[in-house]
Amino acid sequence: MENNLEMPLRQCLEIIQNRVMNETSYFGIRTLKNPIDFWIYQEIIFQTQPDFIIEIGNFFGGSTLALAHLLDNLGKGQVIALDISHQDIPDIVRNHPRIRLIEGDACESFEQVSGITGDSNVMVIEDSLHTFDNTLAVLKTYSCLVKPGNYFIVEDSICHHGLDVGPDPGPYEAIEAFLMENKAFEADRTRESFFITWNPKGYLRRM
């Protein structure tokens, strides 16, 4: 690092992205998460004390397990993990008592999920297909579960807004479209205070 202090930020982001996509793990499980953002997640979780964290898009389940461990430390809560397939989820994730796995399309699974959460305190993390249409559909479907003061986090809005990866238009544009329609939410940009984030405008707080 000391030899690259003049490196452009875009190049720094590309280096971090390579590390996230190819080498990052949690408890030995591949985990496609920027650890800077995950530090923000634990701050939000401690402050808002969710009864349920709905994680849409789980891959190998590393972040699912990390969220469950945070809830272990909190002494309450459950992670509802939604994905089209959980065939690559290891037993350490499947067997954790705070994790509930649901397979299927997120929007089509909404009634099942809302039947579990009821009127509880819910936090949502969207990390699935990242297309504009899918992200906006998930936002519209699941935002009603988030109570005032809690968060709907849309991941990877850095696509074409810092990194030339992913769908275009993608999550960033879906966030902007959602906020134009839904005045109950705001982009809480104080959650980007480390400056580097994979979720620009993606920390949506219900007012």
Question: For 64-96, what is each residue's pLDDT tens digit?
Answer: 999 999 999 999 999 999 999 999 999 999 999
DSSP assignments along 77-131, one per residue: -EEEEEES--TT--HHHHT-TTEEEEES-TTTTHHHHHHHHTTS-EEEEE-S---
pLDDT in tens, 127-168: 999 999 999 999 999 999 999 999 999 999 999 999 999 999
Residue 21 in tokens: 């996509």
pLDDT in tens, 49-66: 999 999 999 999 999 999
- Residue 169: the pLDDT is 98
How many Å separate Cα 148 from the centre of its chain? 18
1 pLDDT tier (thresholds 50, 70, 90)? confident
- Residue 205: the pLDDT is 98
- Residue 60: the pLDDT is 96
Does position 37 have pLDDT exceeding 90, yes or no? yes
183 pLDDT tier (thresholds 50, 70, 90)? very high
Pairing of strands 151-154, 78-83: unpaired
Handedness of CA 157, 160, 165, 166 (dihedral sign): positive
How many Å separate Cα 195 from the centre of its chain? 18
Distances from the Cα of 102 to the Cα of 38, 109, 115, 126, angstroms = 23, 8, 13, 15
14 pLDDT tier (thresholds 50, 70, 90)? very high
For the segment 103-127, the average pLDDT, to the nearest whole number, is 98
DSSP symbol at 147:
P
- Residue 133: the pLDDT is 98
Name the pTM for this structure: 0.96
* Domains of the chain and CATH, by start: 9-206 (3.40.50.150)
